Structure 1
Amino acid sequence: MKKVVLTSIILFLLSATLLAQDILKGKVFDKSTNTALPGANVLLAGKGTVTDNNGSFTIACENDAELIVSFVGYEIARQTIADCQAEIIIALNPSSHFLREVEITASSEFNRSILSQPATINKLGLTEIKRSTGLFLDDAINANVPGVSMQRRSISGGQQINIRGYGGGGPGPRGINSNFDQQGIKAYLNGIPITDAEGITLMDDIDFGSIGNVEILKGPAGSLYGLAIAGVVNLQRLQATPGRVTVGQEIMMGSYGLGRFNTNIQVGGQKGSLLINYGSQHYKGFMEHTASDKTFVNVMGDYKPSDKQSVTTYFSYNNSYDERNGELTIDQYNNLDYSGNQAYIKNDAHSNVISFRAGLGHAYQFSESISNQTSVFGTGINSNASSAGGWTDKAPVNAGLRSVFDTKFSLNQHLKLSGVTGVEMQKQLAQVIAYSMTTNNSDPNGYNIIGAMRSNQTQITGTNSLFTQWTLSMPHNISLTAGLGLSSMNIEIQDKLYIDANNVADPTVPRLYKTSYNNLTSPRVALNKIVNKQVSVYASYSVGYKAPVASNIYTPLAGRANIDLMPEKGMQFEIGTKGTILNDKLLYELVYFNSKFSNKMTLVGVPNTEGTATLYSYVVNSGSLLNEGVEAMFKYNAISSNTGFTKLLRPFVNFTYSDFVYNDFTFQNNISVPPADYSGKAVAGVPPVVFNGGVDFVSNTGLYANMIYMYRDKMPLTPDGLNIANSYSLLNAKVGYHKNFGKHFDADAYFGVNNMLSEQYYQMVFVNQLPDAFIPGPNNINYFSGINVKYIF
């Protein structure tokens, strides 16, 4: 009896002690992206815990004790706890980009740190995106991502991303490269494909000013993303800061009538968040007929009903209008004659894109070993565009889903197996109508107007991809990755303007044409070794495909359907090393790659009887590209301190060497001339040497600055190497002041200068399309400035 009483007294006292003990609740997130950090270490008064999948934690608390939060790749955060009852929010500053996790790119690795990835995945955070205006993604990509370039056909439209020599995608109007659309990459925004079911990536309507995170996977990625022959670009919007409610207003003004006005509302709670962003962007242009007007509305929310489940939503409305003044000839460009192409201007050349994008995502953690992320999405676009060749209306509607299972198993004490298995499906219905343009007789001196209809097609396209990729983590920090993707594309075209020449008893071109490209198999294998938890070396081999688009396989004027066209195939071998050395001060990446793109598609023109104009063109497979190159990137943390005047001083450089040649490559511009053999010649449109260097400076007082130098080597414009785009250098700089005023106000004011050397340069080069060649950038020094103010409730 005495033992029972004694035991009861002990249990009572222990319970009273536990009940009296305070419990601190908190959340840890990445300060630069506002994303939760699961697995962060939390230490308080000698007790420790780790954050859960939502970045949340609970821990026994004592007032006035020091809370210490740490996570690999981030600076340690320390804070004295004044009130254990108050929930705490901890924002960690990244200390090393290479040791940070891959956040929005699919990965089969057990550890999602970039160091563990046997591939080149370049991350762009707010530091890189906002070094300039932050409105044009090409500013960030071209200065920070070796082996990747981004061009734009107008001030803020017609974007094209070139990854390791595969850029522009499809066949151009006079042979090898495409200058009018973007194919070969897969692009996603908040998990929603920007790339449509046909494989075309339109970015005119994307608000790059509200992007907070970019990840670029270089090379064929069929084992994770299906038809991605060149690589994958993942974009993520800025997210609401956890635990805060803010209202922000940003105003930016600049040369040539640049104006950006942005309003956002952020509501960040423990179980959910909401972000509403409205942006209005205007530009008068530095050349005739190059104005731009855009309106963006983005709404993003997430809700966590439980620790195992989360729901995300995304909606955007975009209205984009960009004028075009055409391409300059070589003589115009060399003589600084920026008057443009009068045929474009007379046709009021432009690109007008009105779009809705929406997505609903659901994530569920079934157990510690199995989780699923599924998103359904839809996109509706209404576009009209005119050029020297006429006017085109296009109204595509896309819908689809992507569902991925992440699995992680411990086979024994030394072996772990993790994998990604999923499906992505997308369907598109598009109405495409083309018109000629004719003189407006009521105003002959004004713009031309829409004339007779040239074609009217209903296009139905669909892509389906099954993929699985697994990684075996072995002793000594060695991992082996193997994956396989299986993709298909289906195309159905209904010709609603059937020309008389095809309307015969035994037609060679049907009014309804269907074709499919099936069993496009994309394997991947890779090996990775981590040394001393700071450095990794890896080797990988991957395969990807690009199927033809609807316009490649069906040309009514040709009198036949192009039934023999084959998909392009890309194969890449890559070996590299990355990590941090010199006491975590020097971040580096060195990569060698060797790629082959076979069955490259080109156009063959058919001239009229007199040989004065091209009646129509058709597509053929011509040969291969052999792309071999070296990429290097270095960042050095010369100063990193939370005391003293200087908080961060970080110089950075990156370098790309490209040796790209045509292999067994013959094609003809039109059937009236014999085919030409370009084997062994340098691939047009790729500079052999690209160099970028700069420095970031941040003070503990709020002052910050950066300077960037960019160099592009000369390069051939045509596959014969006879026409050259000259080299150029750009020097840009920005200075600003960011300060919190009390608990409720946050302000950021800045001033920037672009092209400080007043150098002539191009925004885009039209490859193999002489006499048209260049779309120039401003050749004079230009300025921008702005202020961003937030009120924190």
Structure 2
Amino acid sequence: MKNRTAAALIAMALGAQSSVVLAAGLGQHSQVLEEVVVTAEQKGSLIAVSEQASIENLKKIPGGVGFVAADDFLDNFTQSIGDTLVFTPGVFADTSAQRENRISIRGSGLNATFERRGLTVLRDGVPISRASGITEFQEIDPLSIQHIEVFKGANGLRYGSSSLGGAINIVTPTGKTRKAGTTVRVEAGSFETARSSISTSGDTGKVDYYGAVTRLDSDGFRDHAEVDSVYSFGNVGFSLADNIETRFFVTALQDDFELAGSLSFEDALDNPKQTRETNIVDDQDRNLDVYRLSNRTVISLSQVDIEAAAWFTKRTLDHALTPFVGIIDQEEEEWGISTQVSGEFSLAGFDEQWIVGINHAQSENDAEVYENILGEKGALSSDDDQDAENTVIYAQLDSKLSQHWNLVLGFNYVDSERTNRNVFAEPAFPGGPVEDDSGSISYDEFSTRIGLLYSPSDNIQYFVNVSEGYEPPGITDLTSGGALPFTELLAQESITYEIGSRGFYKAIAWDIAAYRSEVENEFIDVAAPGFFGGTTVTNTENAQGDTIHQGLEIGIDVDLLSGLVGNAGNLRLRNILTYNDFKFDDDPVNGNNTLAGVPEVVYVAELRYDHGETWYAGLNMRHVANGAYVDYANTFQAPGYQLWGLTAGWNINSSTKVFGSIENIADEEFISNVSTVANLSTEGNQRVFTPGEGRSAYVGVSFSF
């Protein structure tokens, strides 16, 4: 597959304008920015990125991208980054535990466990995905986000991403992009939930700053689902000269939450608040502490921009699981550097833009596992030193062929190494052999990309591209989180064909993409059955045959009051439809079965009225026609569901706002997440269903001064 040329498919196949829109895409956001009267000039910065600047950069990409402004999700009680992406087609995010989402873009990491693969996540252009190949989504506080850039699949080449899911760049507020002053936000609601946040920012011209602290406490919807989280983030920028800027970012967080675990199908629907007694007795939980310092510096010359970044992160994890697995105790230190050079030159009267970059990260992790004795650490059962290195070299040329046509060419080179060295291990049973789970494996590969972008007007774009993908496994995949011996896996490879359009016309905005990914060695997660129907551990394998990921990502925004004389408000209907067709391709065991873990069709809609800047009210709906298959044998499929929600807010004055939301109004009982197994009908493991959250209500107030 990797030898196929990426030049296959460069032909425009969209002959007519679509009336379809990506609600968290560029279409409707470009439309809104066109309608806004700019009252304040954006303060100059080489690093701090405004919403409008992000949108203009995203419009240069010949492929599926998304844009999410903080205003799109702050009206709801948003606990995690997955909650921020609800209105982004192609993205499926469900809840596997309180404060923890499983995020899949175009079928990436279909059922990865707490440590997620398949996505490259960055904050302000600096990677926070780990050198070991996984991402801790808890490292992001939604209240410290200005906006989010979503690059689906190989469209994330701008940041060196070649994974199936692509890249997500979290852009945070700064003193250059946020109004100077302090904001206090307090929220409360169901399940004894309370969240408070304070943020402040300022700008003296040469120096600007932003800082925020958020505290979240909740008993959770289910028994044994308590959350205790404290998150702090800040950045300070220094303008060293008109063409030189540097910015330091700091993160400190403590995120502790109990694990209610999965249930049988009947229990998940009949008594969703319950948890298994063993989860309580063993005090199963996940406690993560992260301390991170990073820097990004930009030097802007006449024709070239030079960027450099460096980061250091210390993570500690205390993760109590079943007695079979034990209590995982890890301490990891990671550092990384990156540099990027970009510029432009003129050819035949047109501007040609280019980017060359390199990212390098490496980590050392002391991974210990202790016996779990009623929630307390018992004897040390294993001790491993885990080292990981990840180097990515990438380049891209954006060539303007004419006034309306752009050709984008790119390549990506990945060089990764994963090493697990056994320091200590107890025998699996008294008198048995001591199993050495040491192992080391390296990966490297070139990937290419070619895309064509046609812009007949400022408001309409069409695109087509062919991209190769390459994704080494994470060290968690190779060791099953430390529960199993080191198992060598092949890298996941893919080639993706994509076509689509985005833009807006009068009262309608759209963003649409259709794609097909042909995948080799796809990572398949299989929950191993334990005693009495419980799960012992989730194991990652390579699919024996090829797999196919194909789908349609559609969004439509319609301004229902557009053009009405004397209209004092705005009534916007937002529609998002994601169609997932993920399946095996003549697999020797599973034939052409559907891949388990993600539902086929997800439709999300919102009808919202904004009365100027005074008040707003919205009704939203999430419809899943049929739930995900639980097993790769396709013997059981979770039922579909439909959830309704309400949001409302009132700006009392220019500095005070009250807001609230009601979620799952009908209190529908549904399956939020499943742990995938090989064949549910033949295995003893039946507790693989996570119930969704019932009816809940939240209210908040914010003060700015």
TM-score, normalization by structure 2: 0.86
Q: Secondary structure at the match of 2:700?
A: strand
Letter in 1 for 2:511: E
Q: Deviations over 1:230-289 (max 9, x none)?
A: 211111223336695312211101111111111112113333321121111111112211
Counterparts in 2 of 1:562 and 1:656: CA distance versus 1, 3 Å: closer
**Structure 1 residue aligned with 2:330:** 394
Counterparts in 2 of 1:556 and 1:304: CA distance versus 1, 3 Å: closer
2:643 aligned with 1:737: no
Offset of 1:115 from its aligned partner? 3.5
Q: Secondary structure at the match of 1:344?
A: helix
**Structure 2 residue aligned with 1:475:** 402
2:118 aligned with 1:184: yes
Alignment partners' CA distance in 2, 1:409 and 1:548: 39
Q: Secondary structure at the match of 1:199?
A: coil
Q: Secondary structure at the match of 2:72?
A: helix
How do 1:741-780 residues align onto structure 2 when only pairs under 5 Å count? 741=654, 746-768=655-677, 770-779=685-694
**Structure 1 residue aligned with 2:85:** 141
Q: Deviations over 1:412-465 (max 9, x none)?
A: 32x321111100000111010112222xxxxxxxx4422232211001110001
**Structure 2 residue aligned with 1:121:** 65
Alignment partners' CA distance in 1, 2:483 and 2:235: 47
**Structure 2 residue aligned with 1:516:** 442
Offset of 1:151 from its aligned partner? 2.3
Q: Deviations over 1:667-700 (max 9, x none)?
A: xxxxxxxxxx112111112211111111232223
2:34 aligned with 1:74: yes
**Structure 1 residue aligned with 2:27:** none
**Structure 1 residue aligned with 2:611:** 699
Alignment partners' CA distance in 1, 2:348 and 2:260: 65
Contact 2:80 2:138 in 1 (8 A): no
Q: Deviations over 1:484-510 (max 9, x none)?
A: 0111111222211156799xxxx9987
Alignment partners' CA distance in 2, 1:735 and 1:553: 46
**Structure 1 residue aligned with 2:139:** 205
Aligned residues: 657
Alignment partners' CA distance in 2, 1:448 and 1:398: 29
Q: Deviations over 1:150-175 (max 9, x none)?
A: 12322113x3211111224xxxxxxx
Q: Secondary structure at the match of 1:713?
A: strand
Counterparts in 2 of 1:641 and 1:259: CA distance versus 1, 3 Å: farther
Contact 2:269 2:691 in 1 (8 A): no
Which residue, 369, 372, 375 being the options, matches 2:306?
A: 372
**Structure 2 residue aligned with 1:788:** 702
Contact 1:221 1:543 in 2 (8 A): no
How do 1:663-674 residues align onto structure 2 when only pairs under 5 Å count? 663-666=585-588
Alignment partners' CA distance in 2, 1:735 and 1:557: 46
2:622 aligned with 1:662: no
Q: Secondary structure at the match of 2:116?
A: coil
Offset of 1:613 from its aligned partner? 10
Alignment partners' CA distance in 2, 1:573 and 1:658: 15
**Structure 2 residue aligned with 1:487:** 414
Letter in 2 for 1:129: F
Offset of 1:221 from its aligned partner? 5.0
Q: Secondary structure at the match of 2:665?
A: coil
Which residue, 497, 506, 511 being the options, matches 1:573?
A: 497
Counterparts in 2 of 1:267 and 1:154: CA distance versus 1, 3 Å: same
Q: Deviations over 1:676-732 (max 9, x none)?
A: x11211111221111111123222351122221111121311112211111111111
Alignment partners' CA distance in 2, 1:451 and 1:521: 46
**Structure 1 residue aligned with 2:508:** 586
2:142 aligned with 1:230: no
2:359 aligned with 1:424: yes
Alignment partners' CA distance in 2, 1:640 and 1:615: 54
Alignment partners' CA distance in 2, 1:616 and 1:349: 16
Offset of 1:553 from its aligned partner? 4.3
Offset of 1:348 from its aligned partner? 0.4
Counterparts in 2 of 1:242 and 1:396: CA distance versus 1, 3 Å: closer
Counterparts in 2 of 1:398 and 1:475: CA distance versus 1, 3 Å: same
Using the TM superposition, name which of 223-232 and 373-382 deviates more. Answer: 223-232
Contact 2:354 2:395 in 1 (8 A): yes
Unaligned 5+ segments in structure 1 are 1-69, 80-87, 92-98, 104-111, 169-176, 439-446, 667-676
Alignment partners' CA distance in 2, 1:342 and 1:235: 38
Counterparts in 2 of 1:321 and 1:114: CA distance versus 1, 3 Å: same
Q: Secondary structure at the match of 1:698?
A: strand
Q: Deviations over 1:62-86 (max 9, x none)?
A: xxxxxxxx9994336377xxxxxxx
Alignment partners' CA distance in 2, 1:615 and 1:708: 37
Unaligned 5+ segments in structure 2 are 1-29, 44-50
Letter in 1 for 2:338: R
Q: Deviations over 1:637-667 (max 9, x none)?
A: 234699966342211101112222111324x
Alignment partners' CA distance in 1, 2:483 and 2:614: 64
Q: Secondary structure at the match of 2:85?
A: helix
Using the TM superposition, name which of 240-249 and 116-125 deviates more. Answer: 240-249
Offset of 1:477 from its aligned partner? 0.8
How do 1:704-719 residues align onto structure 2 when only pairs under 5 Å count? 704-714=616-626, 715-719=628-632
Alignment partners' CA distance in 2, 1:508 and 1:749: 61
Letter in 1 for 2:584: Y
Letter in 2 for 1:622: Q
Alignment partners' CA distance in 2, 1:306 and 1:663: 57
Alignment partners' CA distance in 1, 2:181 and 2:411: 45
Q: Secondary structure at the match of 1:333?
A: helix
2:130 aligned with 1:196: yes
Alignment partners' CA distance in 1, 2:293 and 2:126: 8
Offset of 1:749 from its aligned partner? 0.8
Counterparts in 2 of 1:778 and 1:509: CA distance versus 1, 3 Å: closer
**Structure 1 residue aligned with 2:98:** 155
Letter in 2 for 1:390: G
Alignment partners' CA distance in 2, 1:532 and 1:556: 51
Letter in 2 for 1:165: G
Alignment partners' CA distance in 2, 1:557 and 1:637: 52
State the identity as a percent.
19
Q: Secondary structure at the match of 1:379?
A: strand
Q: Deviations over 1:99-118 (max 9, x none)?
A: 95436xxxxxxxx4444320
Alignment partners' CA distance in 1, 2:255 and 2:510: 39
Contact 2:480 2:537 in 1 (8 A): no
**Structure 1 residue aligned with 2:6:** none
Contact 2:381 2:425 in 1 (8 A): no
**Structure 2 residue aligned with 1:167:** 109
Alignment partners' CA distance in 2, 1:145 and 1:317: 29
Contact 1:543 1:570 in 2 (8 A): yes
**Structure 2 residue aligned with 1:633:** 555
Q: Deviations over 1:131-190 (max 9, x none)?
A: 312333333312x11111112322113x3211111224xxxxxxxx43342111111122
CA RMSD of aligned residues (A): 3.3
Using the TM superposition, name which of 713-722 and 725-734 deviates more. Answer: 713-722
Contact 1:645 1:700 in 2 (8 A): no
Contact 1:205 1:319 in 2 (8 A): no
Alignment partners' CA distance in 1, 2:33 and 2:551: 29
**Structure 2 residue aligned with 1:298:** 233
Alignment partners' CA distance in 2, 1:616 and 1:215: 31
Contact 1:558 1:617 in 2 (8 A): no
2:343 aligned with 1:407: yes
Offset of 1:763 from its aligned partner? 3.4
Letter in 1 for 2:333: V
Q: Deviations over 1:294-326 (max 9, x none)?
A: 111111121222221111111011001001111
Letter in 2 for 1:135: Q
Letter in 2 for 1:789: F
Query: Bigger radius of gyration, 1 or 2?
Result: 1
Contact 1:77 1:90 in 2 (8 A): no
**Structure 1 residue aligned with 2:467:** 542
